[in-house]
Structure 1
């Protein structure tokens, strides 16, 4: 797969064809790729709310209709929307669940390896929790790694996509009951197929030249 061509081809879609729906097999494959996103020390401090019904998308649009109305049509017309959520706290239960899953998946050759992984992950969690005091920001950064995985995956499956920060996260959290689940919305991703009103589809892509963005030592 030519990932450079995918990166050059993908762009932020500004309008969707509401009549087109992502095939279930394609959606399932993208979600499986998303589930395998990288995260620091495999912490996986995220949860993804997948919305495909008109009713569900209307609920999401409650977070944009007031102050970010320009984003509401994207939410309503996209085939699917994924709400990327970060944990509000790194709980013992989550750390234990990740470790148990790693053991089930055969990550440890012995108990010593299991203990080493557990200690390493907890070291970084405690570093951000107690010393750097940026645990929430750290978990949100891991969630953005997942967003990057989803964007490249969407391009690979021929899907158009729009990463979206323009929404009222407090309103969305309340609408979906996220805080009660120990989660908070960070970014949304619209997915589907662009419509005729998508002016961005015909524009050339623009990035700073290589000599300005790379330093070689």
Structure 2
């Protein structure tokens, strides 16, 4: 696989072929990639909602300023953050470390206590912004994985998070939507697929010291 070639092939898909669906195997790659995304401290205060059912997606189109990709893509991915970061989030994380790596409690305890203290020191607003930063890492990772897998995608910030949260009852789950990523396969008549990429020369974008 030529990674650069696939990244050049990728573009923000404006028109999806509504008749084409991702296989379960492809969707599994996407969900696994999300779960393997790097997050600060490995705490994973983000969640991924995957919606295939078009009846559920129909009311979401208007709340995304009528962007058709929300409905016509094979699946709609919604990256969410936890509204609040609780002590149990940190405790559960370190319990997983203990179970998976058999790390002794005396080694984990000071790190766990420091991270709990750090999270408690964040206001709700700061905590949500911190989690949102992780969501963007996940978005970039998913877009790259999609390109490598030959899956089209379209990252979106243009939607009403408040309306999405209301329609999907995310507040009941303690979540807040922050990013959308419709995924699927481009329509043959999407003219944007043929446009040449516009980027700065590599010498202007990258500084090597």
TM-score normalised by length of structure 2: 0.91
CA 92–123 in structure 1, closer or farther in 2 if over 3 Å, else same:
closer
CA 60–97 in structure 1, closer or farther in 2 if over 3 Å, else same:
farther
Residue 23 (str. 1) matches residue 23 (str. 2): yes
Deviations 1:138-190 (A, max 9, x none): 11000111111111111111100001111111000001111222110000100
How many Å apart are 1:125 and its aligned residue? 2.9
Please, which runs of 5 or more residues in structure 2 have no aligned partner? none
Q: CA RMSD in A?
A: 2.0
In structure 2, the residue matched to 1:112 is 106
Cα distance between partner residues in 1 of 2:164 and 2:137:
21
Contact 1:38 1:146 in 2 (8 A): yes
SS of equivalent residue, structure 2 residue 50: strand
Residue 170 (str. 1) matches residue 162 (str. 2): yes
Cα distance between partner residues in 2 of 1:158 and 1:116:
44
Cα distance between partner residues in 2 of 1:12 and 1:40:
27
Please, which runs of 5 or more residues in structure 1 have no aligned partner? none
TM-score normalised by length of structure 1: 0.88
Cα distance between partner residues in 2 of 1:33 and 1:6:
17
Cα distance between partner residues in 1 of 2:7 and 2:107:
37
Residue 195 (str. 1) matches residue 190 (str. 2): no
Cα distance between partner residues in 1 of 2:197 and 2:118:
38
SS of equivalent residue, structure 2 residue 180: strand
